[in-house]
Amino acid sequence: MLRQYELVERVLAYDPDADEAMLNRAYVYTVQKHGSQKRASGDPYFSHPVEVAGLMTELKLDQETIVTALLHDTVEDTLATVEEVERLFGANVARLVDGVTKLSKIEAMSEKERAAENLRKFLLAMSEDIRVLLVKLADRLHNMRTLHFIKSEDKRRRISRETMDIYAPLAERVGMYEYMREMQLLAFEQLEPEGYATITGRLAQIRSSEGGQVDAIALSIKQALAEAGLKVEVSGREKHPYSIWKKMAERHVSFEQITDIMAFRVLTETVEDSYKALGVLHTTWQMIPGRFKDYISTPKSNGYRSLHTSLIFENSMRMEVQVRTREMHETNEFGLAAHWAYKQQDKPDGQVGWLRDLIEIVDASHDAEELLEHTRMAIYQDRIFAFTPKGQLLQLPKGSTPVDFAYAVHSDLGSFAVGAKINGRHMPLRTQLGNGDVVEIIKSRNASPQLSWLGFVVTGKARAAIRRAVRAKERAEIAVIGRKLFDEIAARLPSKIGKKAIREAAKRLGLGGEEDLMAAIGAAKIDDHQVLEALVPGSTKGLPEPEKWSGPERAISIRGLTPGVAFHLAECCHPVPGDRIVGIRVPDKGVEVHAIDCLSLASGVDADWLDLSWGDRTTGAIGRLRVLLHNRPGTLAEAAGIFAGNRANIVSLEMTGRDELFGTYEVDLEVSDLAHLTRIVSALRASDAVAEAERI
């Protein structure tokens, strides 16, 4: 383990202005806070943050990052708080430590509940400062290096799987190939112990039997380039066991069939020399077509730059050769970290966001594919990532609310949601969620989706589900009413009506089944006669056809008119039998019958009022009502149920206004007389769904 003075010296070696006292304080703080905690290796726990800080010094990172590395587990695993860290080490370090702590939440989740792709995005979105991500990657690398101390094989495999799926790709994403390779190798050893043993064994064999081959080829490359006047550094290595394994798996071949086991790297002084060297290599040895890549003129999105080619040595051996400048090499191996460290030298106070760095790189390239990569990054800016209490991670559009969240988890959870706890606090369902929020949905079996939710949800899934649920609820309400009416109709029949008879009746009426039949009755789409006729064909023979009694003017007789004179009921006041009525003569239209308190009469019609009254057997007229319904799902269905339950057909229904609280409807009802209409108004007023009901 690095000693305190060694760590401080390392930092001072590349940053003479570093705050030595603060580094010392941070070292002592982590030793004190972790106290007697132990690692699986038996080492004191604080050896871990110290080693992570050591890894960060290898990247020549600034003092704040080193301090963050030292403190990275204190908030998560000890009694230290972010506030205390801020007081002792400043706001920047506190923010960075907090960032690393948040990323650590993820490690607490169980494996099956997270998607690797989601997690990588989450880590990127959360790592607003590249330094947070760098500390996290170094943390993981050190944990992988000490993984063999963990006794449980399951745990070792789980951590390795996570490293392979999440952290190694992330390291690659920010160009830290050294970290990526080491993580992959350590994870590979745990996940595929046999494959690992075979490959490392075969590589050791090659090394001993063909001993100097790598060196010999490196030397001949160097000589060829020297003859062309190029001053270069050549190194050769065997390919990484994990990349050999991957090739074997991808190409379904054995170790023996893998030809390019060795790879060489040529480091030049200038970019020009790189291209010159490539020319020499291609004229000295045979190149393999299709394997040449120019990442200097077109860098990868993470900033990687190099020339790649494959050559054939001594007739059969295929070797990969990479040519690049020394400077590119450093940037390549430590990616954005190196890039960032260079920038820091220019701008000592620069808190350069890694994203901006990435955008700069992307701006400098013209490759469509890389721009696409960049666009994907931009997409993360429109997303938020939130957790379930069990640690499942969900990706949602920005502006999403607990209702969106609930529907994203499961449509049932959305349907029964009545409230939400965000990070443990009760919050309204319309609250917009933030990155990293833990959201707990409070359910009630009696709850149902509210129409008002449509005003704030942002996901299509929630929107569609709410609409569907509201419609279904209305249908269900109508079906309940329909079934009541049906039972009354069925009770008039001498024999019991079974399920089969109901199905057949529905079929005769052209309806899908029992549920549809009940819904049609409830919505007054079919009347008693039709239902009876469908249940027992011929049973309504001799009874008047429904139209005969339901027509508004058909059964109306008015006393007080000269026989033969045409009349009609006025549409301003819709008089119904039972109302006191008067008549007005209208040229060419006969007599218009008004209710006596009709407003249009009061406004002074210049005509004689005829004193009229309803005939004895008068029945059927249209009454007009204004109904104010509470603005929530199901109220209209309830009103419709009242009309149907009172045997009043709806002739027309119009929504004339709507606001947050109420929907206003004007409805024309076919009723038999005033008493009938009055009963309906009373029933409406008694209903919870109705705020007001009146004749107009």
Query: How far apart (Å, rounded) are the C-alpha atoms in residues 621 and 668?
Result: 10
Backbone angles phi, psi at 159, to 5 degrees: -65, -35
Which CB atom, from 139 or from 527, has the smaller least distance to Mn ion?
139
Cα separation, 246 vs 87, whole angstroms: 49
Residue 256 designated active-site = no
Per CB under 5 A, which of residues 86..115 are in contact with Mn ion? none
| Side-chain-side CA neighbours of residue 397 (13 Å) | 10
In the complex, the smallest distance separating the C-beta of residue 76 from Mn ion, rounded to whole angstroms, is 8
Q: Interface residues for Mn ion in 606-635 (CB under 5 A)?
A: none
- When asked if residue 527 is in the footprint of Mn ion (CB under 5 A), the reply is no
Q: Which residues contact 425 (CB under 8 A, 6 or more apart)?
A: none
Do residues 199 and 244 lie in contact, with contact meaning Cβ atoms separated by under 8 Å?
yes
Q: Is 346 a catalytic residue?
A: no
> Which region, judged by CB under 5 A, interacts with Mn ion, from 131-139, 292-300, 596-604, 634-642?
131-139
Residue number with CB closer to Mn ion (183 or 570)? 183
Minimum distance from residue 48 beta carbon to Mn ion (Å) = 6
Size of the site for Mn ion (CB under 5 A): 2
Distance, in Å, from the CA atom of 54 to the CA atom of 37, rounded to the nearest integer, reads 20
Distance CA 662, CA 668 (A): 19
Site string for Mn ion, 21-60 (x = CB under 5 A): ----------------------------------------
CA dist 676 and 110 (Å) reads: 65
Tokens representing residue 14 in the block: 């590349």
Nearer to Mn ion, 73 or 474 (CB): 73
The CA distance from 472 to 466, in Å, is 10
- The rounded radius of gyration (Å) of the Cα atoms in the chain is 41
Cα–Cα distance between 193 and 215 in angstroms, integer?
Answer: 29
- Per the structure block, which two tokens stand in for 268? 């030049």
Choose between 49 and 633: whose C-beta lies nearer to Mn ion: 49
Torsion angle defined by CA atoms of residues 143, 148, 153 and 155, in that order, rounded to the nearest 10 degrees: -10
| Sheet containing strand 581-586, strands side by side | 558-559, 609-614, 581-586, 590-595, 567-569
Q: Could you tell me the two tokens for 499? A: 């399920």
End-to-end Cα distance, the chain: 90
What's the min distance (Å) between Cβ of 233 and Mn ion? Answer: 36
Q: Please choose, out of 138-146, 332-340, 524-532, 548-556, the segment that lies near Mn ion by the rule CB under 5 A.
A: 138-146
If the CB atoms of residues 139 and 357 are measured against Mn ion, the closer one turns out to be 139
Which residues ranging from 65 to 84 are in contact with Mn ion (CB under 5 A)? 73
Do residues 373 and 432 make contact, with C-beta atoms less than 8 angstroms apart?
A: no
CA angle 132, 135, 136 (to 5 degrees): 85
Minimum distance of Mn ion from residue 32's CB (angstroms): 17
Piece of 59-67, 132-140, 573-581, 663-671 that binds Mn ion (CB under 5 A): 132-140
Q: How far is the CB of 393 from Mn ion (least distance, A)?
A: 20
Q: C-alpha 383: how far from its chain's center?
A: 8
CB of 61 to Mn ion, least distance (A): 16
Between CA 593 and CA 571 the distance in angstroms is 9
Residue pair 274/329 in contact (Cβ under 8 Å)? The answer is no
Nearer to Mn ion (CB atom), residue 137 or residue 420:
137
* The CA-based dihedral angle spanning residues 129, 133, 139, 140, taken in that order and rounded to the nearest 10 degrees: 170
Out of 62, 139, 182, 527, name the contact with Mn ion by CB under 5 A: 139
One of 76, 238, 367, 373 is an active-site residue; which one? 76
Considering the complex, state which of residue 39 and residue 679 has its C-beta at the smaller distance from Mn ion.
39
To Mn ion, the closest distance from the beta carbon of 402 in angstroms equals: 32
Minimum distance of Mn ion from residue 144's CB (angstroms): 11
Phi–psi pair at 491, nearest 5 degrees: -65, -20
Cβ proximity to Mn ion, 66 vs 441, nearer residue:
66
Q: In terms of CB distance, is 73 or 129 closer to Mn ion?
A: 73
Task: Beginning with the edge strand found earlier in the chain, give each strand of the sheet holding 649-658 in spatial order.
Answer: 649-658, 662-671, 621-630, 690-695
Compute φ and ψ for 614, nearest 5 degrees: -80, 145
Minimum distance of Mn ion from residue 354's CB (angstroms)? 20
Q: Which of 77, 86, 330, 515 is catalytic?
A: 77
CB of 101 to Mn ion, least distance (A): 10
Q: How far apart are CA 576 and CA 557, in angstroms?
A: 12
Least Å from the CB of residue 47 to Mn ion:
11
Of 32 and 682, CB closest to Mn ion: 32
Q: Cα separation of 25 and 527, whole Å?
A: 87
Distance CA 57, CA 55 (A): 5
Q: Which residue is nearest to Mn ion (CB)?
A: 139
Which span (4-12, 139-147, 177-185, 635-643) binds Mn ion, by CB under 5 A?
A: 139-147
Beta bridge partners of 440: 421
**Closest CB to Mn ion among residues 73, 670:** 73
User: Which residues in this chain contact Mn ion in the complex, by CB under 5 A?
Assistant: 73, 139
Residues marked as catalytic:
76-77
